[in-house]
């Protein structure tokens, strides 16, 4: 089945960005002039996904307003020299649909994804964590992952090598390389996954970043998944159940990833996009 839907867990508090995130969703923080979540939506659209499903929470209404028409603004700006500022967001709104559900309690990423079941149903889907901002000159990271999914028809997680001392910030995988000349040894059959292990316990330094393709059996697994690291329901633990059946592939993606959930990563992304983009007048 073709992947059409992309889930955006967006209920988190963004405490690391307080006070900016007190009344503004962290997903709406801009890198240059574009909110983080719009980068994620554009990456999904580029991968051929046009149905966006957003798991929001209290205080997140700005996300819904962002992906809607503002009639006052359209009226003010129409025919002026400033109209081009709206072209990207207009194109997003025209080319995809958005639906929303709320996560009532913060019980972890696995729980947030399970909340999205009502919007996803029984089909494979992508997950984008908007604070991991990805960029590639050619195909975007989700496009690359959709290609992997189309070949193997199982869950796919994006990974990158991180310094071993950072393994406690990520889900970490172990696996065996699938030899594949096309993908240049970038595919692993996952054999183990651990959420945020101490460096001394980490099976490897291959960290999962915020891009997933999940098959819908993940929902039944999540329903049975007990709270894990930090007392939260972890997607990593649910994926391990699929991995035990040989149904998870880790993909070392091509491109850059910025951890915009941290101030350092956010500044790095801002500098990178500033240098890359010619800012409109
Ligand atoms: C989540 C996941 C973790 C993954 C990370 C990627 O953690 O639980 O496995 O490596 O996203 O960004 P979080 O960053 O939400 O703490």
- The CATH code of the domain that includes 251 is 3.90.550.10
Give 248-278 pLDDT, tens digit per residue: 999 999 999 999 999 999 999 999 999 988 5
* Distance of CA 280 from the midpoint of ligand 1 (Å): 34
* Res 1: pLDDT: 78
Range of the domain at 20: 5-277
Mean pLDDT of the chain: 94
> Other CB atoms closer than 10 Å to residue 220's CB: what's the count?
13
Q: Is 108 in the pocket of ligand 1 (CB under 6 A)?
A: no
Crossing angle for the helix pair 36-46 and 87-95, nearest 10 degrees? 50
pLDDT of 18:
95
Least confident of 65-79, 180-194, 239-253: 180-194
Mutate to test the pocket of ligand 1, among 7, 8, 103, 109 (most ligand atoms within 8 A of CB): 109
- Ligand 1: nearest atom to the Cα of 259: 12
**Separation in Å, CA 25 to CA 44, 139, 204:** 20, 28, 33
Residue 131 CB–ligand 1 contact under 6 Å: no
Residues 172-186 have a mean pLDDT of: 79
Q: What are the C-alpha distances in Å from 220 to residues 1, 131, 187? A: 19, 27, 26
Number of domains the chain is built from: 1
Question: Is the predicted pLDDT of residue 217 greater than 70, yes or no?
Answer: yes
Q: pLDDT, tens digit, for every residue of 135-162?
A: 999 999 999 999 999 999 999 999 999 9
* Mean pLDDT value of segment 235-251: 98
């Amino acid at each position: 089945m073709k992947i059409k839907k992309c889930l955006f867990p967006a209920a988190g508090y963004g405490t690391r960005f307080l006070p900016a995130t007190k009344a503004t969703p962290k997903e709406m923080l801009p890198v240059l002039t574009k909110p983080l979540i719009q980068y994620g939506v554009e990456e999904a659209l580029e991968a051929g996904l046009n149905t966006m499903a957003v798991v929001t929470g209290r205080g997140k209404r700005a996300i819904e307003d962002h992906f809607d028409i503002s009639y006052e603004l359209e009226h003010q700006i129409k025919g002026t020299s400033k109209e081009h500022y709206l072209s990207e967001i207009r194109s997003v709104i025209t080319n995809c649909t958005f639906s929303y559900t709320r996560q009532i309690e913060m019980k972890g990423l696995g729980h947030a994804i399970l909340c999205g079941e009502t919007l996803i149903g029984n089909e494979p889907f992508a997950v984008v964590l908007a604070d991991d901002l990805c960029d590639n000159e050619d195909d975007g990271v989700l496009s690359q992952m959709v290609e992997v999914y189309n070949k193997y028809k199982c869950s796919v997680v994006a990974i990158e090598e991180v310094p071993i001392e950072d393994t406690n910030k990520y889900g970490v995988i172990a696996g065996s390389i699938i030899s594949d000349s096309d993908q240049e040894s970038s595919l692993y059959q996952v054999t183990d996954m651990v959420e945020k292990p101490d460096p001394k316990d980490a099976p490897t330094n291959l960290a999962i970043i915020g891009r997933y393709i999940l098959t819908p059996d993940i929902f039944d697994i999540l329903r049975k998944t007990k709270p894990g690291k930090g007392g939260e329901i972890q997607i990593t633990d649910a994926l391990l159940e699929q991995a035990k059946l040989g149904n998870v592939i880790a993909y070392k993606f091509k491109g850059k990833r910025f951890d915009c959930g941290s101030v350092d990563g956010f500044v790095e992304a801002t500098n990178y996009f500033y240098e890359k983009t010619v800012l409109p007048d």
